């Protein structure tokens, strides 16, 4: 089988030295990609900027921004059996990007943010030829919000990740998740190492 797995954060530029991002370490996506490769599958890992060693047993493509990740994912869907959208893609980006470094001043600075393209929603077409797995990083109403995302994005599976504490979720070596399937089944995965 052919897997496409996304991992890590995206960085949305504000100016040449600043960006908007999030705390995603990429550990979950890398662990999923490596597990699929070890099981004998053909795996393409599309990664945002992370501090992880590049896996040797699979193909790796870097994507810095949400637009780059959108384009790379869509270019590599042909012949794919499973798409695992584990990356923590930014929901918003600056409406304009300054060509020069924005200088510090003694007054407030406001940034206008606009929505990024929704990669997961763009993949949820009814006629797709692959299994679609999404992730939901939530701080409250975990199952309710994950179920809503499962339906709205037309996924087959949603992995709900509670990121409300520092002991699980982003930037940790261990995690626990709740998996929601399209048929209504729910599976809880107890706290365990990511790799």
Express as a percent the part of the chain with pLDDT over 70: 92
Domain boundary assignment for the chain: 2-92+112-136+143-159
Residues identified as active-site: 22
Structure confidence by residue, pLDDT tens digits, 136-170:
888 888 888 889 999 999 999 999 888 776 665 55
Give the CATH number of domain 2-92+112-136+143-159: 3.40.50.10300
Determine whether 39 is exposed, middle or buried from the number of CB atoms within 10 Å of its CB (0-12, 13-18, 19+): exposed
pLDDT surpasses 80 at 96: yes
Q: Which residue has the higher pLDDT, 106 or 166?
A: 106
pTM: 0.90
Structure confidence by residue, pLDDT tens digits, 112-136:
999 999 999 999 987 899 999 999 8
């Amino acid at each position: 089988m052919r897997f496409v797995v996304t991992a890590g954060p995206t960085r949305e530029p504000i100016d040449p030295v600043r960006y908007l991002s999030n705390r995603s370490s990429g550990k979950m996506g890398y662990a999923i990609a490596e597990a699929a490769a070890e099981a004998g599958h053909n795996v393409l890992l599309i990664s945002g900027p992370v501090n992880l060693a590049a896996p040797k047993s699979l193909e790796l493509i870097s994507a810095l921004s949400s637009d780059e990740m959108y384009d790379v994912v869509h270019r590599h869907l042909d012949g794919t059996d499973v798409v695992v959208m584990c990356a923590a893609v930014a929901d918003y980006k600056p409406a304009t990007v300054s060509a020069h470094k924005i200088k510090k001043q003694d007054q407030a600075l406001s940034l206008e943010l606009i929505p990024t393209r929704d990669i997961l929603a763009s993949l949820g077409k009814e006629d797709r030829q692959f299994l679609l797995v999404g992730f939901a990083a939530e701080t409250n109403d975990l199952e309710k919000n994950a179920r809503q995302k499962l339906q709205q994005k037309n996924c087959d599976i949603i992995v709900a990740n509670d990121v409300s504490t520092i002991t699980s979720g982003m930037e940790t070596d261990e995690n626990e998740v709740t998996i929601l399937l399209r048929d209504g089944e729910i599976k809880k995965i107890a706290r365990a190492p990511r790799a």
